[in-house]
Structure 1
Amino acid sequence: MANPGYCVKNNIYETWKNWEAVNLEGMKEIGYALSGCNQRFLNFVVFEGEKVSVNNFYFIAHPYNLELPVLCRVFRIQPYNPEMELGRTGPLAGKKRRKADYGKKLEYIIGFAEILGYYDKGGKWRQMEVAPRPWDSVYEPTEDSLRQFLLCQQFAQNALVVEIGKVRGTSIPVYLDLNAIARTHTFVAGMTRSGKSSFIINLVRASSNLKPRPRFVIFDRRGEYGALMKYGAEVIPYTEFMPAITNPDVIVGKLELKRTEKEVVLSAVRMLIEEGESINREALYKKAEKVAETKASDKTRTKTLENIKWALDNKGAFIDREKKPLDIISQIRKTPITVVDYSVDTDIEAQQRTATHIINHIKDYAMAQRSKGDFACIIAVEEAQYLAPEKGAEVKESSAQGEAKAAFIEAISQAGGYNVGLIVMTQRPAYVAKSVISQCNSVVCFRLKSGNDQEAIMNYTEYGSERLAEYLPGLADHEAMLWGMAIPTPFPLIAEMDVKEYPQKAAAFAKQAWERMEEKVEG
């Protein structure tokens, strides 16, 4: 089977070597530029009978070189009728349930667009240096001319690219470079059910055809990634990777001990560690009995030991864990797709502690292997706000929160240089640490309506245009705006994702579940 990754790269590379400017001749004029434009902004009047759509691309000619097309994207369309302004005859006619039909002749439509830039005669991407002039023509590109313009930029020669969808409203493919993701990290954001999980599933699915085959580790908080098993994924409960707990403070915290009981158990654990003895409930209680002779008074000793015994019996099963955790490095080398299933329980402390262990182990191993160059992987983290929350949005009930956040930030700051890339996913960007978002050099943003979440994207990513507030709320399901080092264009694209596999949600809808519950009651 042909390697679609290398085929795509070579096709783009050939296009770039034979680069020619897109010719505006033959394109349809659909409007004229108005006064008030600048180097980043174009407003234009739309010709009568023509249709202009938000998020679509259009061209203007460069004012200093009419042979060079300048790419623009419409973010707003606004009809205007002077007779419908306050104080004019239109509102008066409307009051009487009549239309001032003669005013329709004065009506026109204004398009508002951001000017993205252009390729100069040498094929270099540049921002506009001058504002469009009034009466400059606005052109609607054919799909072929738009394809030539969008695919003229080359990937790096060591790229490993995969097609993920089409440019919105066209058949023009959109690609991602997995090599760039592994080295520079990617931020994936969007409202619930906007398409984030489907995007990851289908990215991994499409990547399964590449040679060499990339390695993925997916932190699955909702049990949604079972569909990847048909592509060679192995789904493993996170508890299989969970390290043993030897930290005295963590042990006491999980036992929820207070006052004297806490002091006794802390001392007992430290003594077992100093003496090199194994830590289990039986050994810990025996050591606590000795410690209590000095830490507790004769009057309270019995009650203290009873409380410790009750805590060990009812909350201390984790202390007796003897099973050696799976080695994540061996798992990555053996299996192209490893899904770490966090949906098996709700123990947030254990989940965060295990995530810290996995991330640190991968990062440390990659750093140790840097001279050999024989290890790389991409880690996709669902609901990243649980591991790296913004200040004030921490998960308070977990004693492992601080270590998890520190490990995540350290990994995203360092690991990319050692071919370990993070795909940071969230439905609430405002709740994710800004130091994490700012380290992601590529962004895939699905529908977002919250102002706080939009601001997090605008303020802490490389594109950061205020126009995002115009684009993001109107994206349909499985549509996303992409920008950054992992895509071939130096400007954002809006893509319709290729969705062939979907996340595994609940086995039945709520209505069906209630019907079955009623059947059991009646039966």
Structure 2
Amino acid sequence: MGETTPFEFKFLMAGEAPRGSYVKVKEGSKDWMVAQVMEVTRSNVAYSLSAIDEENPGAKERVLGLARVIGVASGGRLEMAAAPPRPGDPVFRADDHLIEMALGLSKGNLYIGLLEGHDLKVKLDADALVQKHCSILAKTGSGKSYTAAVVLEELLEKGVALLIIDPHGEYASMKQKNSKGEFARFDVSPRGYDVTVYSPASSAAAPHADRPLRFNGRNLTAREISAMLPEDVTNSQRGVLYEAIKVLEAEGGDYGLEEIIAQAEKDSSKAKWGLIGHLEALADLGIFSGKPTGLGDLLQRGRASIIDMTGVPPDLQGMIVAKLLSDLFEARKRGRVNPGMVVVEEAHNYIPERGSGRAASTPVIRTIAAEGRKFGLGLLVISQRPARVDKNVISQCNTQIILRVTNPNDLRALSKGIEGMSSELEEEIKRLPPGTAMLVGGEIEHPVTVKVRPRKSRHGGVSTPIVGDGRADRGGKAAPPQPKGPDKRQDSGKAERKEPAGGLLRKILGK
């Protein structure tokens, strides 16, 4: 009814068509125009403030819908609408097959959940998601890590090799079956996955890990060490490093971090002390001691290797990620490791936006985002603070999975980093309930709202209750600790360094 355009129209409802549902109108003689209901309004002239009809208080109620046109389904394809629908034409509920075709839901093989308001499975294309990168963005408590694990489960079942940078040890629980969820409704069955947990920390700091993560620390080049140093390291400090290694290489000896530190101490420049502090931090962590971890072990098809950063000071995590991903990317370019996907949880700590902090890992992650597709290395970035994540990386992610975001800065960041982000879409994102995600980009033809399916594996990111019945304090049964496997680790890691107060505060707020 009223004025219509090729982009939207209003219609009078005889039945129920809730906000977010899909409708169809005949376009021409055979094709259907598909649209989504964006707004629903209800009115009754008997209760109008301008004209109250006292003789007929039960005047007929009218329900109007505003529908946004998605396109015209023609010959199995979705085309742009060229002409508006005719006022007076009947509007019908769109059938499932038409919705699937119009939204591109039938093209994928990664089952994410059910289309909001329908029992239609929403699937993403695995190759497109891995090769063209993906981001999962949400505020704390909206189901960000839970949704990420759903995506990872699907990738593992498709045989994709995963390397997960896990700051809080949330993903180790993927080894175990889930016991809670609407499994029948979403047509899933609980199961565990092949997961190996690596830790850069000492065995005392991370006894739950399956294996230590160690690098070959012998005869490192100045370029390799420089890539691990924070971005705020000065040119003078880098000069001391290059000079020290140049001397050691000229002597023709076998050297490690201790020898580099000793040689740097002989330098007359005052800049040496800042450099020595960074090098001693790496040496104290023990990351270069013991047997090096094989890069080929970290990317195995259908398996997840989790780099658990628990017990590692925040200022060193970026250095470790920089070294690990640099080595892995070089090995992948030479075909020495399997293709796969790198998953970066709490990405704002490892690829911060300019002005939000610095991290040694930023350059290599930017490189993977820009060039990884050519070499078969995908990227999945996950963050609760979109405004603090490097926009160059976010813009390289072709698939966006967005849960509830309410912070104005974060919403502005989404608008800048995601193509086609409109003010209406921002309002939708602000109102998303927990466990519901909006899919933007990728092979999906139109942004869709999805009720995320239950995890098949156990969720390890549940918040710890603070206000409770106090049973643990009274000697009652407390929450069970995380299961620990046999300690298979063999390392000579040194004592853990104390964490700076600022880094500790950020870590608490993040958890």
The TM-score range, normalised by the shorter chain, is 0.7 to 0.9
Aligned counterparts of 1:167 and 1:265: Cα–Cα separation in 2: 56
| Corresponding residue number in structure 2 for 1:135 | 88
Change (3 A) 1:66 1:193: farther
Aligned counterparts of 2:200 and 2:469: Cα–Cα separation in 1: 28
Point out where structure 2 has 5 or more consecutive residues left out of the alignment.
176-191, 202-212, 477-511
Q: How far apart are 1:419 and its partner, in Å? A: 1.9
Letter in 2 for 1:494: T
Preserved contact between residue 242 and residue 353 of structure 1 (Cα < 8 Å):
no
| Corresponding residue number in structure 2 for 1:165 | 113
| Corresponding residue number in structure 2 for 1:342 | 309
The answer to whether residue 10 in structure 2 is matched with residue 34 in structure 1 is no
Could you tell me which of 70, 93, 106 is aligned with 1:116? Answer: 70
Preserved contact between residue 233 and residue 339 of structure 1 (Cα < 8 Å):
yes
After TM superposition, list the pairs within 5 Å mapping 1:2-17 onto structure 2: none
Preserved contact between residue 238 and residue 351 of structure 1 (Cα < 8 Å):
no
Could you tell me which of 446, 452, 457 is aligned with 1:491? Answer: 446
Preserved contact between residue 444 and residue 480 of structure 1 (Cα < 8 Å):
yes
| Corresponding residue number in structure 2 for 1:398 | none
Higher helix proportion, which one?
1
After TM superposition, list the pairs within 5 Å mapping 1:379-458 onto structure 2: 379-395=342-358, 401=359, 403-458=360-415
Preserved contact between residue 281 and residue 320 of structure 1 (Cα < 8 Å):
no
Q: How far apart are 1:164 and its partner, in Å? A: 2.3
Aligned counterparts of 1:262 and 1:149: Cα–Cα separation in 2: 56
Q: Secondary structure at the match of 2:467?
A: helix
Letter in 2 for 1:358: L
Q: How many residues align?
A: 443
| Corresponding residue number in structure 2 for 1:126 | 79
After TM superposition, list the pairs within 5 Å mapping 1:60-79 onto structure 2: 60-62=25-27, 65-79=28-42
Could you tell me which of 221, 227, 251 is aligned with 1:275? Answer: 251
After TM superposition, list the pairs within 5 Å mapping 1:77-476 onto structure 2: 77-80=40-43, 88=50, 105=59, 108-120=62-74, 122-143=75-96, 146=99, 154=107, 161-210=109-158, 213-229=159-175, 230-239=192-201, 240-241=213-214, 244=217, 271-272=247-248, 274-277=250-253, 283=259, 287=263, 291=267, 317-318=284-285, 321-333=288-300, 336-345=303-312, 347-369=313-335, 375-395=338-358, 401=359, 403-476=360-433
Give the aligned CA root-mean-square deviation in angstroms: 4.2
Letter in 1 for 2:381: V
Letter in 2 for 1:490: E
Could you report, residue by residue, the CA deviation over 1:129-149 in whole angstroms, capped at 9, with x for unpaired residues? 222333333212344664566
TM-score by length of 1: 0.71
Aligned counterparts of 1:207 and 1:314: Cα–Cα separation in 2: 36
Q: How far apart are 1:168 and its partner, in Å? A: 1.7
Q: Secondary structure at the match of 2:357?
A: coil
| Corresponding residue number in structure 1 for 2:17 | 52
Preserved contact between residue 75 and residue 113 of structure 1 (Cα < 8 Å):
yes
Higher mean alpha-carbon deviation, 313-322 vs 199-208, is at: 313-322
| Corresponding residue number in structure 2 for 1:301 | none
Q: Secondary structure at the match of 1:467?
A: helix
Preserved contact between residue 100 and residue 106 of structure 2 (Cα < 8 Å):
no
Aligned counterparts of 1:306 and 1:71: Cα–Cα separation in 2: 66
TM-score by length of 2: 0.73
Letter in 1 for 2:116: R
Aligned counterparts of 1:308 and 1:44: Cα–Cα separation in 2: 69
| Corresponding residue number in structure 2 for 1:20 | none
Change (3 A) 1:115 1:241: farther
Higher relative contact order (CA 8 A, sep 6+): 2
Q: Secondary structure at the match of 2:362?
A: helix
Could you tell me which of 460, 466, 471 is aligned with 1:510? Answer: 466
Aligned counterparts of 2:63 and 2:23: Cα–Cα separation in 1: 16
Q: How far apart are 1:233 and its partner, in Å? A: 0.7
Change (3 A) 1:360 1:287: closer
| Corresponding residue number in structure 1 for 2:188 | none
Point out where structure 1 has 5 or more consecutive residues left out of the alignment.
1-32, 91-98, 156-160, 297-303, 396-400
Preserved contact between residue 214 and residue 336 of structure 1 (Cα < 8 Å):
yes
Preserved contact between residue 265 and residue 288 of structure 1 (Cα < 8 Å):
yes
Preserved contact between residue 131 and residue 377 of structure 2 (Cα < 8 Å):
yes
Aligned counterparts of 1:384 and 1:409: Cα–Cα separation in 2: 12
Q: Secondary structure at the match of 1:344?
A: coil
Aligned counterparts of 2:315 and 2:196: Cα–Cα separation in 1: 24
